[in-house]
Amino acid sequence: MKVLVATDKPFAKVAVDGIRKEIEAAGYELVLLEKYGEKAKLLEAVKDANAIIIRSDIIDAEVLDAAKELKIVVRAGAGYDNVDLEAATAHNVCVMNTPGQNSNAVAELAFGLMVMAVRNMYNGTSGTELMGKKLGIHAYGNVGRNVARIAKGFGMEIYAFDAFCPKEVIEKDGVKAVGSAEELYSTCDVVSLHIPATAETKNSINYALVNKMPKGGLLVNTARKEVINEAELIQLMEERTDLKYMTDIMPAANETFAAKFAGRYFSTPKKMGAQTAEANINAGIAAAKQIVGFLKDGCEKFRVNK
Ligand code: 3PG
């Protein structure tokens, strides 16, 4: 059995070593394709792979067509919007993710971005503190929960909205559950986004919603760029010079944001929320174990294309 690790954004070496150990202990072969850049290289590498471990790498119908021996794809991470689930099902390929394995890393970066924003991008002028500010967590999944845990240490007042998570689950963490996204944005000084990119959420963070934020509002995005309605956010930030936007996922309109909103906009150059040795080890080794469990015992826990 051939297990391909296809990561355009590579894992830390220590994580690759751990993945290799799991795969070889099961008697399988590990093939590594890192920083491949062009899709053609991925199409060539998947030809004889029985299993693939990916990150944000795109697995579409063309890749699945080329991967004639493929049985399983594991997205080492949470969001699987980069995999065409319907095409995978049609090709009889199981798709899994590794929920929770990299969530602390993403949550920590959200605070890195928050501190940078409230300290005026470290330009030496007096900023503000996070203590006592109202934090809104938009979606209370694994990352959202870690954000809540860390926010307690900062002394923030914590609110959350999640259409799919029961109020009691949120409130048992000492977080105030609000009834709508509109309420969250109108209540909170800082909103941290943790929604996945789905047909329902794409472009949903728009002018009307963000405009509900109080004066000096800060929006932090460590989720997906697709959830932002970029044209509307640009229009709003032109009108409201008090708003700040910090993101780990570079917008398509990055140059416009950077040119128009210097001092109140920042994007990391490459999505790096999950780019820690710990998160790479956790997610990478979980992916390797899930592949072995699937190929040896037919275990389908964490399957996302039912
Ligand atoms: C995820 O969905 O797990 C995070 O967005 C991390 O993605 P990455 O593996 O591409 O860094």
Q: Which residue type occupies 166?
A: P
CATH architecture classification, 1-99+274-295: 3-Layer(aba) Sandwich (3.40)
Out of 56, 101, 192, mutate this one to test ligand 1's pocket (max ligand atoms within 8 Å of CB): namely 56
Q: What is the mean pLDDT of residues 230-244?
A: 98
Ligand 1 — pocket residues by CB below 6 A?
9, 55-56, 77-79, 102, 271, 273-275
pTM: 0.97
Q: How far is CA 105 from CA 2, 127, 281, 296, in A?
A: 30, 25, 12, 31
pLDDT at 52 over 90: yes
pLDDT tens for each residue of 14-42? 999 999 999 999 999 999 999 999 999 99
pLDDT class of 100 with cuts at 50, 70, 90: very high
pLDDT at 217 over 90: yes
Which of the 8 DSSP states describes residue 214? P
Report how far ligand 1's centroid is from the alpha carbon of 106 (Å): 8
Q: Whole-number mean pLDDT of the chain?
A: 98
Decide if domain 123-261 falls under CATH 3.40.50.720.
Answer: yes
Residue 83 phi/psi, 5° resolution?
Answer: -115, 130
Nearest-angstrom CA–CA distance, 166 and 186: 21
Domain boundaries, the chain: 1-99+274-295, 123-261
Q: What pairs with residue 109 in β-bridges? A: none
Nearest-angstrom CA–CA distance, 233 and 243: 10
Looking at the CA of residue 103, tell me the nearest atom of ligand 1: 3
Q: Is 74 exposed, middle or buried (0-12, 13-18, 19+ CB in 10 A)?
A: buried
Asked whether this complex has an ipTM greater than 0.95, the answer is yes
SS3 content of the chain, % helix, strand, coil (to 5): 40, 20, 40
Given this model, what pLDDT does residue 91 score? 98
Given this model, what pLDDT does residue 306 score? 86
Report the percentage of the chain scoring pLDDT > 90: 100
Out of 8, 55, 302, mutate this one to test ligand 1's pocket (max ligand atoms within 8 Å of CB): namely 55
Report how far ligand 1's centroid is from the alpha carbon of 136 (Å): 21
Residue 121 phi/psi, 5° resolution?
Answer: 60, 30
Report how far ligand 1's centroid is from the alpha carbon of 97 (Å): 10
Report how far ligand 1's centroid is from the alpha carbon of 275 (Å): 8
Q: What is the mean pLDDT of residues 55-75?
A: 98
Given this model, what pLDDT does residue 141 score? 98
pLDDT class of 113 with cuts at 50, 70, 90: very high
Report how far ligand 1's centroid is from the alpha carbon of 75 (Å): 9
pLDDT at 278 over 90: yes
Q: How many residues are present in the chain?
A: 306
Q: What pairs with residue 154 in β-bridges? A: none
The position carrying tokens 């210097």 is: 262
Report how far ligand 1's centroid is from the alpha carbon of 279 (Å): 10
Report the percentage of the chain scoring pLDDT > 70: 100
Same fold, 1-99+274-295 and 123-261: yes
Give the end-to-end CA distance of the chain in Å, rounded to a whole number.
24
